[in-house]
């Protein structure tokens, strides 16, 4: 009886020295995502995924914890050392997520605000008659 040979080659994690950090900070939650330069996601975390619930998810401290968790995964798994930061939203976690990178020796090359701004927007509500 012939034995079937199976390939047990371990998939090597690719090295990504530079990448992008996307921070979406709303009033209710903060989502932190590390990606490579093409936009492929490397690591992600959010305040809700870190155990914060309810109104605590929108705090700056929750954002800092989420950024640290995602940074640890990106640094150890892919060797990320420099990022371009893209911030979206108006929540409290905007600055805290970026400051948390200092603990992981990740260099911030640039910070860009990509918050959506309506041009004209939707039709306003009818005037209230009292």
When pLDDT is averaged across residues 82-100 and rounded to a whole number, the result is 91
Q: Is the pLDDT at 7 greater than 70, yes or no?
A: no
Higher pLDDT, 17 or 95: 95
Q: Is the pLDDT at 5 greater than 70, yes or no?
A: no
Taking only Cα atoms into account, the Rg of the chain, rounded to an integer number of angstroms, comes to 20
Within a domain: 130? no
- Mean predicted lDDT score pLDDT of the chain: 88
Query: 94: domain CATH number?
Result: 3.30.420.80
pTM for the full model? 0.81
**Phi and psi torsions of 62, nearest 5°:** -65, -35
Residue range 20-56, pLDDT digits in tens: 999 999 999 999 999 999 989 999 999 999 999 999 9
Most distant CA atoms of the chain, gap in Å: 90
Higher pLDDT, 15 or 7: 15
pLDDT band for 77, please (50, 70, 90 cuts). Answer: confident
Number of domains in the chain: 1
Within a domain: 121? no
* Three-state DSSP state, 7: coil
Within a domain: 37? yes
Within a domain: 54? yes
For residue 85, the enclosing domain spans 18-113
Beta carbons within 8 Å of 37's beta carbon, 6+ residues apart:
18, 19, 20
**Percent of all residues in the chain with a pLDDT value above 90, rounded to a whole number:** 59
Within a domain: 122? no
Within a domain: 120? no
pLDDT band for 102, please (50, 70, 90 cuts). Answer: confident
Within a domain: 79? yes
When pLDDT is averaged across residues 111-115 and rounded to a whole number, the result is 94
| Interstrand relation of 18-25 and 30-36 (parallel, antiparallel or unpaired) | antiparallel
Within a domain: 8? no
When pLDDT is averaged across residues 111-118 and rounded to a whole number, the result is 92
């Amino acid at each position: 009886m012939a034995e079937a040979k199976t390939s047990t080659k371990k998939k090597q994690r690719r090295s990504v020295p530079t990448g992008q950090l996307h921070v979406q900070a709303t009033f209710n939650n903060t989502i932190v995502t590390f990606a490579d330069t093409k936009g492929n996601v490397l690591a992600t975390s959010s305040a809700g995924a870190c155990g914060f619930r309810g109104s605590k998810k929108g705090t700056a401290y929750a954002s800092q914890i989420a950024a640290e968790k995602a940074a640890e995964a990106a640094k150890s798994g892919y060797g990320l050392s420099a990022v371009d930061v893209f911030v979206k939203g108006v929540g409290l976690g905007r600055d805290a997520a970026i400051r948390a990178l200092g603990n992981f020796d990740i260099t911030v090359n640039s910070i860009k605000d990509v918050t959506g701004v309506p041009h004209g927007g939707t039709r306003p509500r009818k005037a209230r008659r009292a």
